[in-house]
Amino acid sequence: MRSRRSRAGGIAARMASAMCLLAPATPALAQYLDPLPSRFPRDRNVDTLVPGYEAPGVPLGPFIMTPSLAASALYSDNIYAQEANATDDVALRIAPSVKLQSIWPVNKVAVNLTGQFDRFSTLKRENAERFDADVTTLLELSSDTIVRSRLRWQRLQEPRSSQNAFVQTLEPIRYDMTSSAIGLSHDLNRIRLTGEAAAIKTNYFNGRLQDGTALDTRGRDSTALTLRGRIEYAQMPGLSYFLQGTYNDRDFRPSLSATPQRDSTGYEVLAGVSFEPSALMRGEIGIGYLAQNFKDPFFHDYGNLGVRGRLQYYPTRLTTITLEADRRVEDSGTPLSGAYLSTSLSIKAEHALLRTLIVTASADYQADRFNDVDRDDDRYALGLRAEYQANRVLSFSASASHLNVTSDGLDRYRNFSENRFMAGISIRR
């Protein structure tokens, strides 16, 4: 049963939403470290890096530099993600990048510098610049011990379709995200021990409302610390069991408005199995419990069933089908809700029509159930993409996607749909 406070606060929630005090979804720690070498290494079907078509790169001593430049035309039929009076526009997207990769036989270092520049035909205020600087390392202390690290800085822009973008600012909200992560793994015969840590700091730029009023976003700035430990036992080359625990601590910058502080701590415990019963299938699934506990008693603590899983199926040598499921507690942007339970399901099918022509179809579903307030969101997304590798330096791509968002309850967000189409060309050296 929902509390009387949450029902009576429907109008207050909408008013406070206009202040845009919305927290970003906390990124998973796994996004900040490259995966460990698989216990079951085996070449797999569809791969966008077709043998003989890899970019040659430019030798620089012990490194290979691979510069690239991509240009795409983008069309959206609902730029502002509105329920009614949708506005469409076209944009040119230019994306340069430089990758520096070590060619040492054991240890690895990689540096990635990328940019993305969007220029719209009519809606000039939607123009955007995004940057990403990323350094990753993999150090093998011995044949059984591996250290991974990552340092990353990003300048990003919040999409209009984001559930956090409650107000129509004159321009999309920009923010910086700085992250660092380190992981240590050690193999003891059939047992693998892994420890990982990540720190993520997010800083938002102030915006401006349609009437010219300044929008203070400092209440969205946050620092998140995540720690994870995992023990895995391999019964045989194609079957292992694991126990994994994750702890997080989230601190938000005090806001100028009279809203409760969102600082919280949480944990997740999963037990599961990693398997490869045959050459046709491999996967991993973990089931357990997750919770998020708030320091301010205004917000209710949250706990529920935790699930993470990934299954890859190879019906033919040319086809890969991937199923993924994930459930986690995310920080809520609604002022009277401290957290929401996000459950996501996805399926992706990749097929090589030709050796150099890869077609990918995907379907995604995300259900967000908010605590304390009467709001349930459902997001459905469909996508289709084709990429043709003409030679070692030139490739072409085209994609189409559909997004549909529904929100129900007294404190609902908004319902909208968006169709996007892209076509582009990429040159690599």
Q: Would 319 be classed as within a structural domain?
A: yes
The string of DSSP letters for 365-409 reads EEEEEESSSS-EEEEEEEEEEEEEE-SSSEEEEEEEEEEEEEEES
Please report where in the chains the tokens 């491999």 appear, as a residue. Answer: 282
Query: Which of helix, strand or coil describes residue 29?
Result: helix
Q: Would 82 be classed as within a structural domain?
A: no
Q: Would 338 be classed as within a structural domain?
A: yes
Instruction: Write the single-letter amino acid at 198.
Output: A
**What domain range includes position 360?**
4-50+174-428
- Distance of CA 297 to CAs 114, 222, 303, 337, Å? 43, 19, 15, 12
CATH at 255: 2.40.160
Instruction: Write the single-letter amino acid at 150.
Output: R
Token representation of residue 349 = 């099918």
Q: What CA–CA distance (Å, rounded) separates 138 from 111?
A: 12
Q: Would 180 be classed as within a structural domain?
A: yes
Q: Would 159 be classed as within a structural domain?
A: no
Q: What CA–CA distance (Å, rounded) separates 19 from 203?
A: 16
Residue 261 pLDDT: 81
Q: Would 57 be classed as within a structural domain?
A: no
Q: What CA–CA distance (Å, rounded) separates 200 from 246?
A: 15
Instruction: Write the single-letter amino acid at 228.
Output: R
Strands (E), 41-124: 58-60, 63-76, 89-102, 108-120
State the total domains in the chain.
Answer: 1
Q: Would 299 be classed as within a structural domain?
A: yes
pLDDT tens digits for the chain (429 residues)? Answer: 333 333 333 333 333 333 333 334 444 554 678 777 766 555 556 555 566 777 888 999 999 999 999 999 999 999 999 998 999 999 999 999 999 999 998 899 999 999 999 999 999 999 999 999 999 999 999 989 999 999 999 999 988 888 766 667 888 889 999 999 999 999 998 999 999 999 999 998 888 887 878 877 777 888 999 999 999 999 988 899 999 999 999 998 877 666 788 899 999 999 999 998 888 899 999 999 999 999 988 888 888 999 999 999 999 889 999 999 999 988 876 767 878 899 999 999 999 998 899 999 999 999 999 888 899 999 999 999 999 999 999 999 999 999 999 999 988 888 999 999 999 999 998
Q: Would 308 be classed as within a structural domain?
A: yes
